[in-house]
Amino acid sequence: MRKFLLGAILLSMTGLASAVTVEDLTSTSSWMPATDSVPSCDIPATITFKKNGKLNSEPGCNSLFGDYVIGDNDKLEFVNMGMTRKLCAKQYMDLEASFTDLLNKPKFAKKDGKYLILFDADKKEIGRLEPERSGSCS
């Protein structure tokens, strides 16, 4: 009985979150930071995952590109990353710095409802992405 209760408690703590799959990442045309976690998102930073393991991002000013790898135990890694080097207005550069900083940290990911939750190496949540909503960030 104790094992059952412990299992039920652990299950309720994890909610509906599940290991991320290629289908989860590619189920939406692009992802943006969750609107409740950014002060302004008139032009949100976005990331797009392709089924072939490639990714593209418009983090603010430049274009970001590379590969992603999904591993065991919720592992998600971004590899072979590159970015153009244009200079833009401060607001776009600040947006880009914030978003690329977020993308440099994840080691794990889970899907929870509409959210893609990113975790660092210690499995501490570092950010949430949601499907991009054109023209509406409220």
pTM above 0.85, yes or no: no
pLDDT single digits (tens) 6-42: 333 333 334 456 788 999 999 989 999 987 655 555 6
Give the burial class of 124: count Cβ atoms within 10 A of its Cβ; 0-12 exposed, 13-18 middle, 19 or more buried: exposed
Q: What is the pLDDT of residue 53?
A: 96
Statement: residue 125 has pLDDT above 70: yes
Name the band, by pLDDT with cuts 50, 70 and 90, for residue 130.
very high
Residues 119-123 have a mean pLDDT of 95
What pLDDT shows up at residue 39?
52
Give the residue carrying structure tokens 């995952």.
Answer: 49
DSSP assignment of 24-80 equals HHHSSS-EEE-GGG-S--SS--EEEE-TTSEEEEE-SSS-EEEEEEE-STTBEEEEE
DSSP-assigned beta bridge partners for residue 129: 33, 116
- Counting other chains too, the contacts that 134-137 makes at CB distance below 8 Å and 24 or more residues apart are 137/35, 137/38, 137/40, 137/41, 137/42, 137/44
Closest Cα to residue 69, out of 85, 86, 82, 52? 52
Residue-wise pLDDT tens digits, 62-115 = 999 999 999 988 999 999 999 999 999 998 899 899 999 999 999 999 999 999
137 — pLDDT class (breaks 50, 70, 90): low
What pLDDT sits at residue 101?
92
Query: Which pLDDT does position 44 carry in this prediction?
Result: 83
- Which structure tokens are listed for 3? 């094992």
DSSP letter (8 states) at residue 107: S
